[in-house]
Amino acid sequence: MTRPLQPPPDAAPAASRRRAALRRLLALAAPFWRWILLSTALGFLTIGSSIGLMATSAWIISKAALRPSIAVLQVAIVGVRFFGIARGVFRYAERLVSHNTTFRLLAKLRVWFYAALEPLAPARLMQYRSGDLLSRIIADVETLEDFYVRVLAPPLVAIMVAALMTIFMGNFAPELAVTLLIFLLLAGAAAPLLTRWLGRRPGRALVEARAALDMALVDGIQGMADSVAYGAQERQREHIAALSAALIDQQRRMARIDGLQNALGVLLVSLATVAVLIVAIPLVEGVNLASLALATIAAFEAVLPLPGAFQTLESNLAAAGRLMDIVEDVRPAVSDPPTPSPQPDGFDLVVQNLRFRYTPDTPPALDGISFALREGQRLAVVGPSGAGKSTLVNLLLRFWDYSEGQIRLGRHDLRAYHGDDARRLIGVVAQQTHLFNTTIRENLLIANVEASEAQIVTAARQAQIHDFIISLPEGYDTYVGEQGLALSGGERQRIAIARALLKDAPLLILDEATANLDAVTEQAVMAAIHALMAGRTTLIITHRLVGLDAVDEILVLDRGQIVEHGTHADLLARGGLYRRLWEMQNQLLVADA
């Protein structure tokens, strides 16, 4: 079982990592600074209109009680109408701009994360659970949708509104400005710091609990058939229920903090209103008291979201930190050279004294192997499980880099090629063919997006899958289902062969291409493979010793070393490991018959 993602052992302290996550989020938001400023200005105008509406309405009511001439109220009446309409217009515009900015940020964040994640595959991602990766790229990114709307913009709006209210109150009396500013600071700074302190641990725990539940759900769905077959569905349900209860518990804790935050906000609004009135009564004309009180209440619309912003910030930083754990704290296993890839001179493949180990403390997966595969030849690499066959394929595809020995492709060191350029020269038919949940046509076009209909049909015919495809109701537009499960194993393999034919790469790797097929299907697939191998330099990786009498040379690997090499007939005559493997396979075939 693969282990879940963990921060690297040399990770910086938590506070430093939170600061790094915040800097990364701000850097991602920086290109949208014009939109952010526009949204902040619209938010300020919205709350400013609310303050104007409340203050002007209160003044009209107070002044009207003195029965003045209608001309005295005329300007204020127009002001009420203006502020009432402006508030709705500005609120709509602010929501439109802020959400547009949020969606742009999320799109940029997803592209940034995927672009950073792709170079790590597959070497640096094989140890990670797919459910955790899925949680990070979906749930954690979605968590960050609140970063702009609830974290970044509200403090900026609050600062502008506090400045406005300081000027407004200062026009009546400096003491009023100081009094209101104290309560705005309490609501906008002290309360957020308190809720952030209270919500720091639950916020991080909430993200982790959601990720754990997502992982369990993905694992449960992927392994549902096995769980039912072994009667483990009840244990799986109990496990998911426990994780769900843990998530609900963290959500409940956050809800309690929300309740405390709301109650504290209402209390501070009430205390501020009373304090402003107490200070204003001896200093301000009575007709203005209601305006000051209602303007004070309206001003808190800008600072009351700040405790929630600080509470949300912890979840945002935890989610951003989980993304950074992968894309910034993990280096790719392979680095492309700074110079352009060379042009291959032919398609010979030469391996000299190649040694490789996955980690410094593990035995070598390959230990000093050497061979030469000339252009147009066929070479088979066989051996028991763990002999190093798959490791050789991973090195050839530049999923890992070797440090000792040399691999030369087209008379150039393989490390001189950029990874994508090297892989363009190699076609692979693997044991496990991944088909995307789309049409057969789209799955074939992955190999060559510019392939014509005639090329697709030709490749399918050569792979002996065309007749089957056209027998389907939708033909090449038939959906294959998730991971191609609507097709049989042999059909999936023949689509993989058609895909390799469309790619038309000069070097072909067959990595256990018929390992999971029955004998009848294997023969049909092998016929398609022989068509694929024609005219190509071919490396066959297999533990099934079928059809190897047609290859030019066979290498027998055991524990990372070449223990035998020669033709099929030569190796059988020697009576070594190859013959033992061949006899064992024949005994199994006889037993199955």
In tens, the pLDDT along 248-257 reads 888 888 888 8
- Domain endpoint, select from 267, 302, 327: 327
Q: Do 245 and 391 belong together in one domain?
A: no
Q: Inform me whether the pLDDT recorded for 91 exceeds 50.
A: yes
At residue 87 the predicted structure's pLDDT band, cuts being 50, 70 and 90, is very high
Q: What share of the chain is helix, strand, coil (3-state, %, to 5)?
A: 65, 10, 25
β-bridge mates for residue 372, sequence order = 350
Quote the percentage of the chain above a pLDDT of 70.
91
CATH of the domain at 165: 1.20.1560.10
At residue 32 the predicted structure's pLDDT band, cuts being 50, 70 and 90, is confident
Q: Inform me whether the pLDDT recorded for 352 exceeds 80.
A: yes
d(CA 258, CA 36) in angstroms, rounded, equals: 26
Per-residue pLDDT at 11:
41
Per-residue pLDDT at 310:
74
Determine the structural domain holding residue 112 and report its residue range. 24-327
Q: Which of 67-76, 138-147, 414-423, 455-464 is least confident? A: 138-147
User: Average pLDDT for residues 505-518, to the nearest whole number?
Assistant: 79
Q: Do 229 and 322 belong together in one domain?
A: yes
Render 455-486 in DSSP notation, one character per residue.
HHHHHHHHTT-HHHHHHSTTGGG-B--GGGTT
Q: Do 377 and 265 belong together in one domain?
A: no
At residue 127 the predicted structure's pLDDT band, cuts being 50, 70 and 90, is low
User: Average pLDDT for residues 291-299, to the nearest whole number?
Assistant: 91
Q: Do 219 and 313 belong together in one domain?
A: yes
Q: Do 95 and 229 belong together in one domain?
A: yes
Q: Inform me whether the pLDDT recorded for 337 exceeds 60.
A: yes
- Count: domains in the chain: 2
Q: Which of 126-140, 286-300, 358-372 is least confident? A: 126-140
Q: Strand ranges (DSSP E) for 377-425?
A: 378-382, 404-409, 412-413
Per-residue pLDDT at 129:
66
Quote the percentage of the chain above a pLDDT of 90.
20
- Over the chain, what is the mean pLDDT? 83
In tens, the pLDDT along 161-197 reads 999 999 999 899 999 999 999 999 888 888 878 877 8
Q: Do 268 and 417 belong together in one domain?
A: no
Q: Inform me whether the pLDDT recorded for 391 exceeds 70.
A: yes
CATH of the domain at 574: 3.40.50.300
Render 146-187 in DSSP notation, one character per residue.
HIIIIIIHHHHHHHHHHHHHHHHHHTT-HHHHHHHHHHHHII
Q: Do 350 and 319 belong together in one domain?
A: no
Cβ neighbors of 376 (< 8 A, separation 6 or more) are: 535, 536, 537
Q: What do you get for the CA distance between the two ends of the chain, in Å?
A: 35
Per-residue pLDDT at 249:
87
Q: Do 230 and 378 belong together in one domain?
A: no
Q: Do 269 and 397 belong together in one domain?
A: no
d(CA 57, CA 71) in angstroms, rounded, equals: 16
Q: Is residue 500, in this structure, part of any structural domain at all?
A: no
- Domain endpoint, select from 301, 327, 353: 327
- Domain endpoint, select from 327, 358, 386: 327
Per-residue pLDDT at 370:
92
Q: Do 315 and 385 belong together in one domain?
A: no
User: Average pLDDT for residues 75-90, to the nearest whole number?
Assistant: 91
Per-residue pLDDT at 433:
78
Q: Inform me whether the pLDDT recorded for 528 exceeds 60.
A: yes
Q: Which long-range contacts (CB under 8 A, 24 or more apart) does 195-200 make?
A: 195/257, 195/260, 195/261, 195/307, 195/308, 195/310, 195/311, 196/307, 196/310, 196/311, 196/313, 196/314, 198/257, 198/260, 198/311, 199/254, 199/257, 199/310, 199/311, 199/314, 200/314
Q: Inform me whether the pLDDT recorded for 214 exceeds 60.
A: yes
Q: Inform me whether the pLDDT recorded for 513 exceeds 50.
A: yes
Q: Is residue 450, in this structure, part of any structural domain at all?
A: no
Q: Is residue 520, in this structure, part of any structural domain at all?
A: no
User: Average pLDDT for residues 587-593, to the nearest whole number?
Assistant: 57
User: Average pLDDT for residues 22-51, to the nearest whole number?
Assistant: 87
